[in-house]
Amino acid sequence: MPNFELQKKANELFTRYGGNPILTPEDWPYAVNAVMNPAAIKINNETLILARVEDMRGFSHLTVARSADGFTNWQIDSEPTMEADHSNREERWGLEDPRIIWLEEQKQYAITYTSFSEGGPVVSLAITKNFKTFARLGVLLPPEDKDACLFPRRFRGRFVLIHRPIVRGEAHIWLSFSPDLKHWGDHTMLIPSRHAYWDCHRVGLACQPVETPQGWLMFYHGVRNTTAGALYRLGLVLLDLNEPWKVLRRGDEWILGPRELYEQVGDVGGVIFPSGVTVSKETDQLNLYYGAADCTIAVATAKMSDIMNYIMSCPEVSS
C-alpha cells in the first residue's frame, strides 16, 4: 500500500511562481530557439542563472542572466557567455545543461556541463571567478555521460563528482573520485533507476547538492518512457553529510512533475528539468529553477523545513 499521507506531503511541497515562465526565447537579446535547464546560484544577494540556450542550428551555448529577487527583471548578457570551444572536437555540437557550485578550496565557481559532438555527450569542467572568463579543464570521463556536479569540498582528501553514464539506453547516477580534478577513479553507483516506478528508465542529477545539517539533499530527475514520449519528473534523496557515497533516504514518489501548459507544450512536452537551486536560510525558502518542455525557464518555491520534514519521513535506504 502506498503511504497516502506522505504522497500528499510530496505533492504539496512546491508552489509554482505565478509569473512562470520567468525566461522565454522572446526575452533573449538575440535570436534563439529555446532557453532551458539553467544552473542557478546566489552571488552577493543576486541570483545568477546560467541558461542553456539553443540556437537555430539546434546547437546550445550558455548565457548568464541576473536578477535581484530571483523572479523578475532579469539582466541577460547581450551575447553568449560561454560558447563551444571550436578547437575542441568534443564540443563541436555545443554545450548543454550546466550546474554550478562554489569550490571552497579554489575560491572559484565550478561549472560542470555537457559537451556534445558526434562522439557522444561527455561531462566537462570549467572554473571561473566572474562568469566572464573561464578556465576550461576539459572532459572528465568518457561518453555517454551527462548531469554532473562536483561537491563544494573534498571528502577524505578527494573531490567527488556526481554524474550519469548511460548504459543500454538506461541510466543510473554514479560517483567518481579525484585527487586533482583531472584523474578520476573508484567509480561507484549511487542511485539506480527503479523498475516499475516513475523513475524506471533513467535517473540523473537535477540541481547542485544542497548541504543541510542532516545531510546533502540531492534532487534528481526520473524518467519514464511512455507511448507519448518520456516523462521527466523530480525526486529527492538524502546523502550522508561526511560520506556522501552513502544514501540515507529516498522518496518513493516524485515531488514535482509536468502539469502546467508551459510544461506540457513545447519542443519536448512533458519535461520539467530542474538544474539549479538557491536557498535562503533567513526566509526558509528554496527556489528551484527548471527548464519547462525544453523551451522556457520556470521557478517553483518550497519551504526548506517542509523539504527536510518530507525527506526525513521517507524510507531509509540500506546499503
Residue numbers at the binding site for ligand BMA (CB under 6 A): 37, 96-97, 232, 268, 271, 273, 291, 294
* Residue 177 beta carbon to ligand BMA: minimum distance, rounded to whole angstroms: 25
With respect to ligand BMA, which residue has the nearer C-beta, 253 or 294? 294
* Residue 57 beta carbon to ligand BMA: minimum distance, rounded to whole angstroms: 16
* Residue 289 beta carbon to ligand BMA: minimum distance, rounded to whole angstroms: 13
Show the CA angle centred on residue 275, arms to residues 166 and 141, nearest 5°. 35
- From residue 178, alpha-carbon distances to 124, 129, 156 in Å are 14, 22, 11
For residue 27, the SS3 value is helix
With respect to ligand BMA, which residue has the nearer C-beta, 91 or 97? 97
Q: Which residue is nearest to ligand BMA (CB)?
A: 268
All three cell numbers of 282: 533567513
All three cell numbers of 198: 516513475
With respect to ligand BMA, which residue has the nearer C-beta, 116 or 159? 116
Asked if residue 7 lies in contact with residue 66, where contact means CB atoms within 8 angstroms, the answer is: no
Buried b (16+ CB within 10 A) or exposed e, 106-140: eebbbbbbbbbbeebbbbbbbbbeebeebebeebb
* Residue 273 beta carbon to ligand BMA: minimum distance, rounded to whole angstroms: 4
With respect to ligand BMA, which residue has the nearer C-beta, 268 or 317? 268
* Residue 62 beta carbon to ligand BMA: minimum distance, rounded to whole angstroms: 12
With respect to ligand BMA, which residue has the nearer C-beta, 127 or 268? 268
